[in-house]
Every structure is written in structure tokens, then in C-alpha cells.
Amino acid sequence: MSTVNKWNSGINDRGLKEQICEIGRRVYNKGFAAANDGNISIRVGENEVLCSPTMICKGFMTPDDICAVDMQGNQIAGKRKRTSEILLHLEIMRNREDVKAVVHCHPPHATAFAVAREPIPQCILPEIEVFMGEVPIAPYETPGGSKFAETVTPFLKGTNTIILTNHGTVSFGKTVEEAYWKTEILDAYCKILLLSQQLGRVSYLNERESVELLDLKKKLGFDDPRFHVENCDLCSNSAFREGYKGNQPQPKAFEPPPQYAGYLERQTSGGSSAGKAEPDTETLVKLITEQVLAAMKK
């Protein structure tokens, strides 16, 4: 499938409509959107956006099904009615001029984290550290309205992939294919995390290994919010803490590695040692075991 990296001013471009249909087929065939779930959009001009319509299976769309809206969400073309969740797409495009395409769907493994309200752990897979980084979790709002669309706004400057609490995911990029790849990468990572946990544990990269990956990311020209946030622990999901406004999801199923636990302690104690919660027995056993094994290796 060909992709475009520049704006196309026509809302009648059949090639761009076919791109939406092709991504719809991929989303449906991967099991990321059951029945009529999900929606896809491409910005084609200063005030024109092509999008999938409401109440249609994304695996069986044709170019004639695709409709168009302006940047305020008013439908300007198409025989079918536009999706109500286009407001989410437009909110992203208005805040990110580099974004030309958005994909929203419900990939099952990533959506499991959305339903559990469990932060996506970091410092585990090198590819995720370099090509994705921290994935924030937007707070819940009823899908379809402007309040729902605005839940992602505080996180848009630092990522191209966001978890939607109790709902799904939204990913975005310069092309619709690039936006889709972000979704596929995230769901594959979440599947690996869940399988690893079934085996008994997740092994984290150490601080040196994490710093090396961030250095590589910088050399490749990729940005990362951890480059710009003061006192940001590398693996503690703290780069977007200001966006959460005091409602930052806390890990329950995937505890952060011991060397990064200090951030969570500072968050719960207000920066002082007074009132710190004592670590539970399981955490202490894990920490002591890891220290003993490290000493034996030496």
C-alpha cells in the first residue's frame, strides 16, 4: 500500500480512501476491532479530513463508504454518516500539525491494560524503548463527545500512542500506515508482557542498559519526553505526570524495578521520608533475592 507524506487538498481522492479501507482490513483481520468498532482518519487539507463512517465493519469498507468532515467535525461529504468519535481525531490533529492520520481501535491485549488501568511498564524491550517510549493512559470519559476528545490533550506533545481508559487505544502519525503500526507494536508488546507474567516474572533492563537505549534513541533523531522532564526516573512512567493532574494510574500487576521505586515513594509521601508506606514482604523478598544473586555473580 502506497503512503503519502504531504497534504492532498482533495476530499475525492480515491487512493486515500482506499488507504483507509486497507488499514480497516488490517485492523479487523488482526482482531483489533470487532463488528463496527474503531475508526480511521486522514487529514487531506487545511480544513478537510477523510474518515470512516459510523456503524460499519472496518474489514469490509469500500472507498464509496468513506466520508469527510471539516476541522470542527461538520460533515462535508459522503453518503454515510461520519463517526461520532471523529472529534477525538480532530483534537489530536489540531494540537499536532505533524499528524495527518489517526487510528482508534480496541486491540485486546492493550485494551486489557486500559480496563485494568494498569500503566504499561517500561525498560523491558529495547525496541519499545527506542521506537515508542512511555505510553500514557488518558482518563475515562463517555466516548463520542468533546470531553472524551479532550482527555488526550495533556499527553499529545510527548507520544504518538495513548491508552484510552476502559475503552481502547488511539495512535497517530504522518501516514495512516504509520499510525496503524503504532497500534500493532503496542498490542504485541502488551501480549508479551502478559505472557511473561504467566511465566512468573518480568525482567527489567538495568539503569546502564536503559541509558544506552535512550542515547541510541537520541542519535537516531527520535524525541522522548524523558529528555525534557526534570527528575524523571527512566522506568517509572513519570514523564507525563503533569498531564495526569494528580490522578496518575499506579502499577498493581507490574511493579517497577527496585532501582526505580524511589519515584513512587516520593509521589506518595510528598517528597519527604515521613509517612512512607513500608514495602510489602513480597517486594522485600524480591529485592533481597536480586541483590544476593548479583553478589554471587561477582
Active site (catalytic) residues? 85
286, burial (CB in 10 Å: exposed 0-12, middle 13-18, buried 19+): middle
Q: Which residues pair with 102 in a beta bridge?
A: 41, 172
DSSP 89-124: HHHHHHH-TT--EEEEE--HHHHHHHHHTPPPP-SS
| b/e 253-274 (16+ beta carbons within 10 angstroms → b) | ebbbbbbbbebbebeeeeeeee
Nearest-angstrom CA–CA distance, 214 and 210: 6
CA angle 122, 124, 126 (to 5 degrees): 100
Nearest-angstrom CA–CA distance, 80 and 245: 39
**Grid cell listed for 277:** 508506606
CA angle 195, 196, 197 (to 5 degrees): 90
| b/e 104-137 (16+ beta carbons within 10 angstroms → b) | bbbbbbbbbbbeeebbbbbbbbeebbbebbbbbb
**Grid cell listed for 55:** 456503524
